[in-house]
Structures are given as structure tokens and as C-alpha cells.
Amino acid sequence: MTAIRSLTYVALFYLWTAAVSISCTPLLFGPRRWTFGMFHMWGRGVIGLLAICGIRVEVRGQQYIPTGAALVAPKHQCMLDVFAQFTWLPASAFVMKQELAWIPWFGWYARKVGAIVIDRSGGSKTMRQVIREGTALFKHGAQVVIFPEGTRRAPGDAPDYKPGIAALYRELNVPVYPVATNAGVHWPAHGFIRHPGLIVFEYLEPIQPGLKRAEFMRLLEERIEAKSNELLGL
């Protein structure tokens, strides 16, 4: 039964995504806020359809969802972590790898709202690009989303936080909003099975600018991991 429900969800996910993507193509020629509205609508549909799999999604810490310029640092366990930020952040712009920007419609819409498309092997050049483009986005009150571990990790795996976010924190001088989750338990990183239960995304108290690098990294990892482990029951 779980497999049948999961297959049904995957089919409806792609149908919903195709319908929204194609029908909203004219929005690419309008103001950015229209595309944000499309992302919010699409994300709510993606999340709402999870009821087919017996999954509920709950957002906690809503008082900490940023409404202005901020860095958002979510725990990354599956693709739903991406869709969730599109759904709830008012003006999200992702730091994303080049390969994702090549996907028709998704890449077009992401660029429209200001996604920072990077070459992950670019080193210091890539970091300068993110700082430059992030600074420009903040002038429009955007929330720049970057996964501090760089890639998906299975629930309960030892954390591996990359130093890049510390450089952005120092140079961009805006608050960093950690986000904890248990999404990977119910939406695994690989495969199509979706397991019933409650997915929680919890926005946590922001880390204000001005901390030294080591203290910032310690605090970021401590907040995200402690709350994520709590949600996992560890």
C-alpha cells in the first residue's frame, strides 16, 4: 500500500509541476513578485498532495521566518527541504549548482527570482560571486538560502558543515536563520517511497551578525543539529 500511494504521489507531483510550470510561463515576462507567487502556490500543492502518502507537514517557529534580507540555513535531507523554502519564505533565492539551472522551467523560474547559480569547483571565485550577487539581492529584501552542509545527508548522519557559510555571514552582515527538520525520514533522498508520518520544519532563533567565525559555526551547527535530532527522536 505504501508503494502504491508513493507512486500515485510521484505521478501527481509531476503532473502538478508540469501544469503549473507550463501554464505560468508568461510570468517570466512580468515582475519578480509574480514568480514568487507561483512558487508559493506550487509549493503548497506539492506539500498538500503528501496527504496521499499519509504525511502531514508542520511548520514551527513561524515567528522566526524572515521577512526581509537574511541568510537562511536549512538542514538538508531531501528535495522537500528546497520546496519548503519556496513555499514559506516571502522572497527566497537559492545558492544552487549549475546543473539545476539547466532544468527547463525550474531553472528559468529560479533565475527569474534571483537564484545564485554557481560552479561548486570555483573556489574563491565562486565565493566572491555569491557575496556580490547576495549583496545585490539583499537590497531587494531577499532571503538567500544556502545549505550549510552543501549536499543532502541521511537523517542521523554525522554533520559536515562547510566553511563557506561563515564567509558569507561575515561579508554580507545579515542575520542567519537556521532551519531544522526530520523530512528525510519520510521523504528519503533516493527512491520514490514516501513514509507516513509527520514532517516538521522548524525555523530557529536567528544568529545575529558580528560573531567570530568559530563561534558562529559552533552556534549554527549546535542549533540545527540539536533541534533536528530532537525531531528525529535521537
- Is residue 97 exposed (0-12), middle (13-18) or buried (19+ Cβ within 10 Å)? middle
Residue 122 has pLDDT above 80, yes or no: no
Average pLDDT estimate for 55-82: 96
pLDDT, tens digit (0-9, with 9 covering 90-100), for 131-150: 888 888 988 899 999 999 98
Residue in 180, 5, 168 with CA at minimum distance from that of residue 77: 180
Q: What size, in residues, is the chain?
A: 234
Write down the pLDDT at residue 228.
Answer: 97
Predicted structure pTM score:
0.92
Mean pLDDT, rounded, of the chain? 93
| Residue 146 to residues 27, 94, 116, 226, 230, Cα–Cα distance (Å) | 25, 6, 10, 19, 22
CA distance 155 to 189: 10
| Cβ contact 220:148 at 8 Å | yes
Q: What is the mean pLDDT of residues 85-93?
A: 93
Read off the pLDDT of each residue in 51-64 and give the average, rounded to a whole number.
97
What residue segments make up the domains of the chain, in order of their start?
Answer: 2-232
Residues in contact with 126: Cβ distance below 8 Å, sequence separation at least 6, in sequence order: 118, 119, 120
Answer whether CATH 3.40.640.10 is correct for domain 2-232: no
